[in-house]
Structure 1
Protein backbone atom coordinates (compact mmCIF):
# COMPACT_ATOMS: atom_id res chain seq x y z
CA UNK A 1 0.00 0.00 0.00
CA UNK A 2 2.78 2.44 0.95
CA UNK A 3 4.57 1.63 -2.32
CA UNK A 4 1.40 2.31 -4.28
CA UNK A 5 0.94 5.65 -2.54
CA UNK A 6 4.53 6.64 -3.28
CA UNK A 7 4.08 5.71 -6.95
CA UNK A 8 0.87 7.68 -7.27
CA UNK A 9 2.46 10.65 -5.49
CA UNK A 10 4.95 11.07 -8.31
CA UNK A 11 2.21 12.32 -10.57
CA UNK A 12 1.27 15.46 -8.59
CA UNK A 13 -2.08 16.72 -9.84
CA UNK A 14 -3.08 13.34 -11.25
CA UNK A 15 -2.59 11.84 -7.81
CA UNK A 16 -4.57 14.67 -6.23
CA UNK A 17 -7.59 13.81 -8.33
CA UNK A 18 -7.46 10.12 -7.46
CA UNK A 19 -9.35 8.23 -4.82
CA UNK A 20 -6.42 8.30 -2.36
CA UNK A 21 -5.92 12.08 -2.56
CA UNK A 22 -8.17 15.02 -1.74
CA UNK A 23 -10.08 14.80 1.53
CA UNK A 24 -9.62 11.06 2.16
CA UNK A 25 -6.73 10.84 4.64
CA UNK A 26 -5.01 7.45 4.72
CA UNK A 27 -4.77 5.92 8.18
CA UNK A 28 -3.31 2.52 8.99
CA UNK A 29 -0.71 2.57 6.22
CA UNK A 30 3.02 2.64 6.90
CA UNK A 31 4.18 6.27 6.34
CA UNK A 32 6.97 7.00 3.84
CA UNK A 33 9.15 8.56 6.56
CA UNK A 34 9.89 7.32 10.06
CA UNK A 35 8.58 9.08 13.17
CA UNK A 36 11.13 11.45 14.66
CA UNK A 37 12.80 12.19 11.30
CA UNK A 38 13.19 15.14 8.94
CA UNK A 39 13.29 14.36 5.22
CA UNK A 40 13.55 16.18 1.89
CA UNK A 41 11.40 14.94 -0.99
CA UNK A 42 10.05 16.14 -4.34
CA UNK A 43 6.66 16.22 -6.02
CA UNK A 44 5.64 16.93 -9.60
CA UNK A 45 3.25 19.88 -9.27
CA UNK A 46 1.77 21.50 -12.38
CA UNK A 47 4.45 19.78 -14.47
CA UNK A 48 7.37 21.11 -12.38
CA UNK A 49 9.45 19.17 -9.87
CA UNK A 50 9.08 20.88 -6.49
CA UNK A 51 11.05 20.26 -3.32
CA UNK A 52 9.63 20.09 0.18
CA UNK A 53 10.66 18.96 3.65
CA UNK A 54 8.70 16.75 6.05
CA UNK A 55 9.20 16.59 9.81
CA UNK A 56 7.38 13.71 11.51
CA UNK A 57 6.81 13.90 15.29
CA UNK A 58 8.60 11.30 17.37
CA UNK A 59 5.35 9.82 18.65
CA UNK A 60 3.51 9.73 15.32
CA UNK A 61 1.25 6.65 15.01
CA UNK A 62 -0.15 5.54 11.67
CA UNK A 63 -3.57 4.81 13.19
CA UNK A 64 -3.93 8.14 15.04
CA UNK A 65 -4.99 11.25 13.13
CA UNK A 66 -2.26 13.90 13.38
CA UNK A 67 -2.36 17.68 13.05
CA UNK A 68 -0.44 19.34 10.23
CA UNK A 69 1.36 22.67 9.64
CA UNK A 70 2.61 24.09 6.33
CA UNK A 71 5.47 26.62 6.68
CA UNK A 72 6.75 29.02 3.98
CA UNK A 73 10.15 30.75 3.89
CA UNK A 74 10.73 34.35 2.88
CA UNK A 75 11.86 35.66 -0.52
CA UNK A 76 15.26 34.27 -1.41
CA UNK A 77 14.94 31.78 1.43
CA UNK A 78 15.22 28.04 1.84
CA UNK A 79 13.60 25.16 3.68
CA UNK A 80 16.61 24.95 5.99
CA UNK A 81 16.45 28.63 6.93
CA UNK A 82 12.71 28.54 7.62
CA UNK A 83 13.02 25.41 9.71
CA UNK A 84 15.74 27.01 11.83
CA UNK A 85 13.70 30.21 12.15
CA UNK A 86 10.20 29.02 13.05
CA UNK A 87 11.32 26.36 15.56
CA UNK A 88 8.37 24.15 14.71
CA UNK A 89 10.51 21.01 14.75
CA UNK A 90 11.82 21.80 18.24
CA UNK A 91 10.14 19.96 21.15
CA UNK A 92 9.97 23.23 23.12
CA UNK A 93 7.35 24.40 20.62
CA UNK A 94 5.85 21.35 18.92
CA UNK A 95 5.71 17.64 19.66
CA UNK A 96 2.53 16.49 17.92
CA UNK A 97 2.09 18.29 14.56
CA UNK A 98 3.64 17.11 11.30
CA UNK A 99 5.40 20.09 9.70
CA UNK A 100 5.79 20.57 5.96
CA UNK A 101 8.33 23.07 4.59
CA UNK A 102 7.83 24.15 0.98
CA UNK A 103 10.62 25.43 -1.26
CA UNK A 104 9.93 28.39 -3.53
CA UNK A 105 11.27 28.58 -7.09
CA UNK A 106 13.57 31.22 -8.55
CA UNK A 107 12.23 34.02 -10.71
CA UNK A 108 14.16 35.59 -13.60
CA UNK A 109 16.60 37.42 -11.29
CA UNK A 110 17.50 34.20 -9.47
CA UNK A 111 15.59 34.95 -6.25
CA UNK A 112 12.99 32.60 -4.84
CA UNK A 113 9.49 34.05 -4.70
CA UNK A 114 5.93 33.07 -3.87
CA UNK A 115 2.86 33.49 -6.03
CA UNK A 116 1.25 36.90 -5.77
CA UNK A 117 4.51 38.80 -5.27
CA UNK A 118 6.15 40.91 -8.01
CA UNK A 119 7.96 38.82 -10.64
CA UNK A 120 6.58 35.55 -9.23
CA UNK A 121 5.58 33.28 -12.10
CA UNK A 122 4.88 29.84 -10.65
CA UNK A 123 1.66 28.19 -9.49
CA UNK A 124 2.35 27.98 -5.76
CA UNK A 125 -1.32 27.58 -4.94
CA UNK A 126 -1.30 24.49 -7.13
CA UNK A 127 1.93 23.32 -5.48
CA UNK A 128 0.33 23.70 -2.06
CA UNK A 129 -2.84 21.89 -3.11
CA UNK A 130 -0.99 19.00 -4.75
CA UNK A 131 1.35 18.62 -1.80
CA UNK A 132 -1.50 18.75 0.70
CA UNK A 133 -3.20 15.97 -1.24
CA UNK A 134 -0.03 13.89 -1.21
CA UNK A 135 0.58 14.32 2.53
CA UNK A 136 -3.08 13.57 3.18
CA UNK A 137 -2.62 10.32 1.25
CA UNK A 138 0.61 9.24 2.93
CA UNK A 139 -0.05 10.08 6.58
CA UNK A 140 -2.98 9.81 8.95
CA UNK A 141 -3.96 13.50 8.95
CA UNK A 142 -6.51 15.22 11.15
CA UNK A 143 -8.18 17.27 8.42
CA UNK A 144 -9.89 19.60 10.90
CA UNK A 145 -6.48 20.73 12.16
CA UNK A 146 -4.35 21.83 9.18
CA UNK A 147 -2.57 25.19 9.49
CA UNK A 148 -0.27 27.57 7.61
CA UNK A 149 2.44 29.98 8.70
CA UNK A 150 5.28 31.78 6.96
CA UNK A 151 7.73 34.68 7.04
CA UNK A 152 7.86 37.85 4.90
CA UNK A 153 6.90 36.95 1.32
CA UNK A 154 6.03 33.49 2.65
CA UNK A 155 3.78 35.22 5.16
CA UNK A 156 2.19 37.16 2.32
CA UNK A 157 1.54 33.88 0.55
CA UNK A 158 -0.11 32.55 3.73
CA UNK A 159 -2.45 35.53 3.46
CA UNK A 160 -3.09 34.51 -0.13
CA UNK A 161 -3.99 30.98 1.01
CA UNK A 162 -6.52 32.46 3.42
CA UNK A 163 -8.02 34.42 0.53
CA UNK A 164 -8.18 31.51 -1.90
CA UNK A 165 -11.71 30.17 -2.49
CA UNK A 166 -10.53 26.55 -2.28
CA UNK A 167 -7.53 26.36 0.03
CA UNK A 168 -9.16 28.62 2.60
CA UNK A 169 -11.55 25.70 3.18
CA UNK A 170 -8.75 23.21 3.83
CA UNK A 171 -6.64 25.17 6.32
CA UNK A 172 -8.16 25.84 9.74
CA UNK A 173 -6.10 28.94 10.66
CA UNK A 174 -3.35 31.17 9.28
CA UNK A 175 -0.42 32.93 10.99
CA UNK A 176 1.78 35.14 8.78
CA UNK A 177 4.87 36.82 10.30
CA UNK A 178 6.22 40.11 8.90
CA UNK A 179 4.04 39.43 5.89
CA UNK A 180 4.43 41.08 2.48
CA UNK A 181 0.82 41.30 1.27
CA UNK A 182 1.50 42.61 -2.23
CA UNK A 183 -1.06 43.77 -4.72
CA UNK A 184 1.12 43.27 -7.79
CA UNK A 185 -1.61 44.60 -10.09
CA UNK A 186 -0.83 48.11 -8.80
CA UNK A 187 2.35 48.91 -10.74
CA UNK A 188 2.52 52.72 -10.53
CA UNK A 189 3.69 54.58 -7.44
CA UNK A 190 1.00 57.25 -7.86
CA UNK A 191 -1.71 54.56 -7.68
CA UNK A 192 -0.38 52.97 -4.47
CA UNK A 193 -2.51 54.08 -1.51
CA UNK A 194 -1.61 51.81 1.43
CA UNK A 195 -4.57 52.81 3.62
CA UNK A 196 -7.25 52.37 0.96
CA UNK A 197 -5.82 50.03 -1.69
CA UNK A 198 -7.85 47.03 -2.87
CA UNK A 199 -7.00 43.78 -1.10
CA UNK A 200 -7.40 40.85 -3.48
CA UNK A 201 -9.32 38.30 -1.41
CA UNK A 202 -12.10 35.82 -2.16
CA UNK A 203 -12.17 33.22 0.65
CA UNK A 204 -14.37 30.17 0.35
CA UNK A 205 -15.70 30.34 3.92
CA UNK A 206 -16.42 32.77 6.74
CA UNK A 207 -14.92 33.08 10.22
CA UNK A 208 -11.33 32.49 9.09
CA UNK A 209 -8.86 32.76 12.00
CA UNK A 210 -5.93 35.10 11.25
CA UNK A 211 -3.00 35.86 13.55
CA UNK A 212 -0.44 38.27 12.06
CA UNK A 213 2.80 39.70 13.49
CA UNK A 214 4.61 42.86 12.39
CA UNK A 215 7.30 45.15 13.79
CA UNK A 216 7.28 48.94 13.76
CA UNK A 217 10.94 49.13 12.69
CA UNK A 218 10.49 46.85 9.67
CA UNK A 219 12.32 48.60 6.82
CA UNK A 220 11.87 45.67 4.43
CA UNK A 221 8.07 45.45 4.55
CA UNK A 222 7.02 48.66 6.23
CA UNK A 223 4.29 48.54 8.87
CA UNK A 224 2.81 51.53 7.05
CA UNK A 225 2.92 49.89 3.61
CA UNK A 226 4.06 51.60 0.44
CA UNK A 227 5.40 51.16 -3.07
CA UNK A 228 7.99 48.39 -3.34
CA UNK A 229 9.32 46.33 -6.26
CA UNK A 230 6.88 48.10 -8.59
CA UNK A 231 3.90 46.88 -6.57
CA UNK A 232 1.87 48.12 -3.62
CA UNK A 233 1.95 46.96 0.01
CA UNK A 234 -0.90 47.80 2.39
CA UNK A 235 -0.64 49.53 5.72
CA UNK A 236 -0.66 46.56 8.10
CA UNK A 237 -3.31 48.02 10.40
CA UNK A 238 -5.49 48.62 7.34
CA UNK A 239 -4.82 45.07 6.10
CA UNK A 240 -5.94 43.47 9.36
CA UNK A 241 -8.92 45.84 9.50
CA UNK A 242 -9.99 44.58 6.10
CA UNK A 243 -10.01 41.05 7.50
CA UNK A 244 -12.23 42.21 10.34
CA UNK A 245 -14.60 43.87 7.89
CA UNK A 246 -14.62 40.79 5.67
CA UNK A 247 -15.50 38.63 8.69
CA UNK A 248 -18.19 41.13 9.83
CA UNK A 249 -16.38 41.67 13.14
CA UNK A 250 -16.77 45.44 13.13
CA UNK A 251 -14.27 48.28 12.98
CA UNK A 252 -13.52 48.50 16.69
CA UNK A 253 -10.53 46.56 17.96
CA UNK A 254 -9.65 45.67 21.53
CA UNK A 255 -6.08 46.79 22.15
CA UNK A 256 -3.90 45.50 24.97
CA UNK A 257 -0.26 46.31 25.61
CA UNK A 258 2.38 43.57 25.57
CA UNK A 259 4.54 43.66 28.69
CA UNK A 260 8.26 44.06 28.17
CA UNK A 261 8.02 45.51 24.65
CA UNK A 262 8.64 48.94 23.17
CA UNK A 263 5.00 49.80 22.51
CA UNK A 264 3.91 46.30 21.55
CA UNK A 265 0.15 45.86 21.25
CA UNK A 266 -2.25 42.98 20.73
CA UNK A 267 -4.91 44.29 18.33
CA UNK A 268 -7.89 41.95 18.50
CA UNK A 269 -11.17 41.68 16.61
CA UNK A 270 -14.07 39.32 17.22
CA UNK A 271 -12.80 38.01 20.53
CA UNK A 272 -9.54 36.89 18.93
CA UNK A 273 -10.70 35.42 15.62
CA UNK A 274 -8.66 38.08 13.83
CA UNK A 275 -5.59 39.42 15.57
CA UNK A 276 -2.54 41.56 14.82
CA UNK A 277 0.46 41.47 17.12
CA UNK A 278 2.33 44.76 16.77
CA UNK A 279 5.73 43.55 17.96
CA UNK A 280 6.96 46.98 19.10
CA UNK A 281 8.59 50.05 17.58
CA UNK A 282 12.07 48.57 17.83
CA UNK A 283 11.40 45.25 16.05
CA UNK A 284 12.55 45.08 12.40
CA UNK A 285 11.82 42.44 9.77
CA UNK A 286 12.09 39.61 12.29
CA UNK A 287 10.45 36.45 13.54
CA UNK A 288 9.85 37.60 17.16
CA UNK A 289 11.75 35.57 19.74
CA UNK A 290 13.08 35.82 23.27
CA UNK A 291 16.35 34.24 22.13
CA UNK A 292 18.83 34.70 19.30
CA UNK A 293 17.71 33.46 15.89
CA UNK A 294 18.87 33.96 12.30
CA UNK A 295 16.69 37.07 11.99
CA UNK A 296 17.57 39.02 15.11
CA UNK A 297 21.20 38.03 15.60
CA UNK A 298 20.68 38.41 19.34
CA UNK A 299 19.47 42.02 19.01
CA UNK A 300 16.01 43.47 19.68
CA UNK A 301 14.75 40.39 21.44
CA UNK A 302 11.05 40.36 22.30
CA UNK A 303 9.31 39.42 25.52
CA UNK A 304 7.37 36.70 23.71
CA UNK A 305 7.99 33.95 21.15
CA UNK A 306 5.89 34.22 18.03
CA UNK A 307 6.03 30.44 17.62
CA UNK A 308 4.50 29.87 21.05
CA UNK A 309 1.66 32.25 20.31
CA UNK A 310 1.14 30.70 16.86
CA UNK A 311 0.87 27.21 18.33
CA UNK A 312 -1.61 28.43 20.96
CA UNK A 313 -3.65 30.14 18.25
CA UNK A 314 -3.67 27.05 16.07
CA UNK A 315 -4.71 24.97 19.07
CA UNK A 316 -7.76 27.17 19.58
CA UNK A 317 -9.12 26.75 16.04
CA UNK A 318 -10.37 23.87 13.91
CA UNK A 319 -12.46 23.47 10.79
CA UNK A 320 -16.10 22.91 11.56
Structure 2
Protein backbone atom coordinates (compact mmCIF):
# COMPACT_ATOMS: atom_id res chain seq x y z
CA UNK A 1 0.00 0.00 0.00
CA UNK A 2 1.33 3.45 -0.85
CA UNK A 3 0.24 7.09 -0.91
CA UNK A 4 1.38 9.91 -3.18
CA UNK A 5 1.52 13.49 -1.84
CA UNK A 6 0.01 16.40 -3.79
CA UNK A 7 3.50 17.51 -4.84
CA UNK A 8 4.55 14.11 -6.28
CA UNK A 9 6.41 14.52 -9.55
CA UNK A 10 7.26 11.32 -11.47
CA UNK A 11 9.96 13.21 -13.36
CA UNK A 12 12.10 13.97 -10.30
CA UNK A 13 13.27 12.04 -7.19
CA UNK A 14 10.83 12.24 -4.28
CA UNK A 15 11.43 11.60 -0.55
CA UNK A 16 9.96 8.40 0.91
CA UNK A 17 8.60 7.37 4.31
CA UNK A 18 8.24 3.70 5.23
CA UNK A 19 5.63 3.39 7.98
CA UNK A 20 5.50 0.03 9.79
CA UNK A 21 2.37 -1.16 11.61
CA UNK A 22 2.42 -2.63 15.10
CA UNK A 23 2.33 -6.32 15.95
CA UNK A 24 -1.07 -7.98 15.66
CA UNK A 25 -2.52 -5.38 13.28
CA UNK A 26 -1.93 -4.45 9.63
CA UNK A 27 -0.97 -1.65 7.26
CA UNK A 28 -4.58 -0.41 7.08
CA UNK A 29 -4.47 0.24 10.82
CA UNK A 30 -1.23 2.18 10.45
CA UNK A 31 -2.71 4.47 7.80
CA UNK A 32 -5.55 5.29 10.20
CA UNK A 33 -3.26 6.52 12.97
CA UNK A 34 0.02 7.92 11.65
CA UNK A 35 -1.44 10.73 9.45
CA UNK A 36 1.46 10.53 7.01
CA UNK A 37 -1.12 9.94 4.26
CA UNK A 38 -2.86 13.20 5.13
CA UNK A 39 -2.00 16.32 3.14
CA UNK A 40 -2.60 18.52 6.19
CA UNK A 41 0.48 16.87 7.74
CA UNK A 42 2.44 15.76 4.68
CA UNK A 43 2.53 17.59 1.35
CA UNK A 44 5.75 16.26 -0.13
CA UNK A 45 6.74 12.72 0.98
CA UNK A 46 5.64 9.48 -0.65
CA UNK A 47 4.44 7.01 2.01
CA UNK A 48 4.66 3.22 1.74
CA UNK A 49 3.02 0.90 4.27
CA UNK A 50 4.73 -2.53 4.35
CA UNK A 51 2.77 -5.52 5.61
CA UNK A 52 4.19 -7.95 8.18
CA UNK A 53 3.80 -11.71 8.04
CA UNK A 54 1.32 -13.85 9.91
CA UNK A 55 2.65 -16.28 12.49
CA UNK A 56 0.45 -19.38 12.60
CA UNK A 57 0.86 -22.36 14.93
CA UNK A 58 2.98 -20.47 17.45
CA UNK A 59 3.06 -22.29 20.78
CA UNK A 60 3.10 -19.12 22.90
CA UNK A 61 0.56 -16.91 21.14
CA UNK A 62 -2.44 -17.08 18.79
CA UNK A 63 -1.96 -16.31 15.07
CA UNK A 64 -0.77 -12.71 14.80
CA UNK A 65 0.98 -10.37 12.36
CA UNK A 66 4.53 -9.56 13.42
CA UNK A 67 7.89 -8.20 12.38
CA UNK A 68 11.27 -9.79 13.00
CA UNK A 69 12.44 -9.89 16.60
CA UNK A 70 10.10 -12.45 18.09
CA UNK A 71 12.19 -15.49 19.02
CA UNK A 72 9.72 -18.03 17.65
CA UNK A 73 9.99 -16.73 14.07
CA UNK A 74 11.67 -18.96 11.47
CA UNK A 75 15.34 -18.14 11.01
CA UNK A 76 14.87 -17.39 7.32
CA UNK A 77 12.66 -14.38 8.11
CA UNK A 78 14.76 -11.25 7.59
CA UNK A 79 13.10 -7.83 7.68
CA UNK A 80 16.27 -6.08 6.49
CA UNK A 81 16.39 -8.21 3.34
CA UNK A 82 12.66 -7.62 2.86
CA UNK A 83 12.96 -3.83 3.14
CA UNK A 84 15.96 -3.68 0.81
CA UNK A 85 14.07 -5.75 -1.77
CA UNK A 86 11.02 -3.52 -1.33
CA UNK A 87 13.06 -0.36 -1.90
CA UNK A 88 14.66 -1.89 -4.98
CA UNK A 89 11.24 -2.76 -6.40
CA UNK A 90 9.77 0.67 -5.62
CA UNK A 91 12.64 2.51 -7.30
CA UNK A 92 12.89 0.17 -10.28
CA UNK A 93 9.25 -0.53 -11.08
CA UNK A 94 6.89 1.92 -9.43
CA UNK A 95 8.02 5.31 -8.15
CA UNK A 96 10.64 7.98 -8.68
CA UNK A 97 12.41 8.15 -5.32
CA UNK A 98 15.42 9.92 -3.84
CA UNK A 99 17.68 7.28 -2.19
CA UNK A 100 19.22 10.00 0.01
CA UNK A 101 15.83 10.82 1.52
CA UNK A 102 14.38 7.51 2.70
CA UNK A 103 12.92 7.54 6.22
CA UNK A 104 11.26 5.04 8.53
CA UNK A 105 8.60 5.30 11.21
CA UNK A 106 6.52 2.74 13.05
CA UNK A 107 4.20 1.91 15.90
CA UNK A 108 5.10 -0.53 18.68
CA UNK A 109 6.81 -3.56 17.10
CA UNK A 110 6.91 -1.64 13.82
CA UNK A 111 8.97 1.00 15.60
CA UNK A 112 11.46 -1.48 17.03
CA UNK A 113 9.71 -2.49 20.24
CA UNK A 114 10.03 -6.21 20.95
CA UNK A 115 7.36 -8.16 22.88
CA UNK A 116 7.87 -9.37 26.42
CA UNK A 117 9.50 -12.58 25.20
CA UNK A 118 12.78 -10.72 24.85
CA UNK A 119 15.01 -8.89 27.33
CA UNK A 120 15.59 -5.34 26.08
CA UNK A 121 17.29 -2.30 27.68
CA UNK A 122 15.38 0.83 28.80
CA UNK A 123 14.38 3.17 25.98
CA UNK A 124 16.74 5.91 27.21
CA UNK A 125 19.73 3.57 26.88
CA UNK A 126 18.60 2.52 23.41
CA UNK A 127 18.46 6.19 22.36
CA UNK A 128 21.86 6.94 23.88
CA UNK A 129 23.38 4.08 21.89
CA UNK A 130 21.99 5.63 18.71
CA UNK A 131 23.70 8.90 19.67
CA UNK A 132 27.02 7.06 20.09
CA UNK A 133 26.61 5.44 16.66
CA UNK A 134 26.20 8.89 15.13
CA UNK A 135 29.24 10.29 16.92
CA UNK A 136 27.21 12.44 19.31
CA UNK A 137 27.60 13.05 23.03
CA UNK A 138 25.10 10.79 24.85
CA UNK A 139 25.75 12.21 28.31
CA UNK A 140 24.00 15.59 28.35
CA UNK A 141 21.29 16.16 25.73
CA UNK A 142 19.54 19.49 25.35
CA UNK A 143 16.23 19.13 27.19
CA UNK A 144 13.05 21.00 26.33
CA UNK A 145 9.56 20.73 27.80
CA UNK A 146 6.88 20.92 25.12
CA UNK A 147 4.51 23.87 25.67
CA UNK A 148 1.59 21.48 25.22
CA UNK A 149 2.12 20.34 28.82
CA UNK A 150 1.48 16.92 30.35
CA UNK A 151 5.26 16.68 30.96
CA UNK A 152 5.98 15.90 27.31
CA UNK A 153 9.77 16.36 26.96
CA UNK A 154 12.19 16.48 24.02
CA UNK A 155 15.82 15.33 24.34
CA UNK A 156 18.17 16.42 21.52
CA UNK A 157 21.67 14.99 21.24
CA UNK A 158 24.60 16.86 19.68
CA UNK A 159 28.40 17.01 19.77
CA UNK A 160 28.33 18.99 23.01
CA UNK A 161 24.87 17.75 24.00
CA UNK A 162 23.63 21.33 24.09
CA UNK A 163 24.48 21.59 27.80
CA UNK A 164 26.63 24.67 27.26
CA UNK A 165 23.68 26.65 25.95
CA UNK A 166 25.15 26.57 22.45
CA UNK A 167 23.68 24.49 19.70
CA UNK A 168 25.89 21.44 19.37
CA UNK A 169 27.08 20.15 16.02
CA UNK A 170 24.27 18.08 14.50
CA UNK A 171 22.15 18.73 17.56
CA UNK A 172 18.90 16.89 17.07
CA UNK A 173 20.31 14.22 14.74
CA UNK A 174 19.16 11.91 17.51
CA UNK A 175 15.97 13.23 19.09
CA UNK A 176 13.93 11.45 21.74
CA UNK A 177 10.45 12.61 22.73
CA UNK A 178 8.95 11.44 26.01
CA UNK A 179 5.27 11.59 25.13
CA UNK A 180 3.86 12.62 28.53
CA UNK A 181 2.13 11.35 31.63
CA UNK A 182 -1.14 10.22 30.10
CA UNK A 183 -0.18 8.81 26.71
CA UNK A 184 -0.82 5.10 26.58
CA UNK A 185 0.34 2.65 23.93
CA UNK A 186 -0.76 5.00 21.18
CA UNK A 187 0.47 7.16 18.34
CA UNK A 188 1.01 10.64 19.87
CA UNK A 189 -1.59 12.90 18.30
CA UNK A 190 -4.20 15.46 19.25
CA UNK A 191 -6.59 13.83 16.78
CA UNK A 192 -8.78 10.97 17.95
CA UNK A 193 -8.15 8.17 15.47
CA UNK A 194 -10.76 5.86 16.94
CA UNK A 195 -8.66 3.86 19.38
CA UNK A 196 -9.67 3.02 22.93
CA UNK A 197 -7.13 5.53 24.28
CA UNK A 198 -7.95 7.86 27.11
CA UNK A 199 -8.94 11.18 25.56
CA UNK A 200 -7.40 13.94 27.65
CA UNK A 201 -9.91 16.67 26.85
CA UNK A 202 -12.89 16.95 24.48
CA UNK A 203 -11.66 17.19 20.90
CA UNK A 204 -8.20 15.87 21.70
CA UNK A 205 -6.65 12.52 20.96
CA UNK A 206 -4.20 10.36 22.91
CA UNK A 207 -1.60 13.15 23.36
CA UNK A 208 -1.23 16.92 23.71
CA UNK A 209 0.99 17.23 20.62
CA UNK A 210 1.26 15.75 17.13
CA UNK A 211 4.21 13.42 16.79
CA UNK A 212 3.65 13.25 13.02
CA UNK A 213 4.39 16.96 12.67
CA UNK A 214 7.61 16.60 14.65
CA UNK A 215 8.69 13.62 12.54
CA UNK A 216 7.98 15.48 9.31
CA UNK A 217 10.15 18.39 10.51
CA UNK A 218 12.93 15.89 11.31
CA UNK A 219 12.63 14.16 7.92
CA UNK A 220 12.81 17.46 6.05
CA UNK A 221 15.91 18.52 7.98
CA UNK A 222 18.10 15.47 7.31
CA UNK A 223 19.15 13.31 4.41
CA UNK A 224 21.77 10.62 3.93
CA UNK A 225 25.22 12.14 3.17
CA UNK A 226 26.60 11.62 -0.33
Q: Larger deviation: 74-83 or 62-71?
A: 62-71
Verify the 8 A CA contact 1:113 1:120 in the aligned structure 2.
no
Match of 1:81 in 2: 29
1:208-287 superposed matches below 5 A: 228-229=116-117, 231-250=118-137, 251-270=139-158, 271-287=171-187
Q: Does 1:153 align with 2:153?
A: no
- The Cα shift of 1:245 comes to 2.4
Match of 2:72 in 1: 119
Specify every segment of 5 or more residues in structure 2 that has no aligned partner in the other structure, as ranges.
Answer: 159-170, 201-205
Q: Larger deviation: 271-280 or 289-298?
A: 289-298
1:1-320 superposed matches below 5 A: 53-107=1-55, 108=58, 109-121=62-74, 122-137=77-92, 138-156=94-112, 180=113, 182=114, 228-229=116-117, 231-250=118-137, 251-270=139-158, 271-295=171-195, 297=197, 299-300=199-200, 301-320=206-225
Match of 1:177 in 2: none
Q: Which protein has greater RCO, CA pairs closer than 8 Å, 6+ apart?
A: 2
- Name the CA distance, whole Å, in 2 between partners of 1:150 and 1:115: 13
Structure number with the higher strand fraction is 1
> How many residues are aligned here?
199
Verify the 8 A CA contact 1:78 1:104 in the aligned structure 2.
yes
Verify the 8 A CA contact 2:182 2:207 in the aligned structure 1.
no
- The Cα shift of 1:102 comes to 0.6
Verify the 8 A CA contact 1:264 1:280 in the aligned structure 2.
yes
- Name the CA distance, whole Å, in 1 between partners of 2:15 and 2:133: 27
Q: TM-score, with normalisation over the residues of structure 1?
A: 0.59
Specify every segment of 5 or more residues in structure 1 that has no aligned partner in the other structure, as ranges.
Answer: 1-52, 157-179, 183-220, 222-227
Verify the 8 A CA contact 1:93 1:307 in the aligned structure 2.
yes
- The Cα shift of 1:98 comes to 1.2
Residue 71 of structure 1 aligns to a residue whose secondary structure is strand
1:131–1:257 Cα change, 3 Å:
same
Verify the 8 A CA contact 2:150 2:208 in the aligned structure 1.
no
Verify the 8 A CA contact 2:186 2:197 in the aligned structure 1.
no
- The Cα shift of 1:288 comes to 0.5
- The Cα shift of 1:248 comes to 2.8
- The Cα shift of 1:298 comes to 5.9
- Name the CA distance, whole Å, in 2 between partners of 1:92 and 1:296: 24
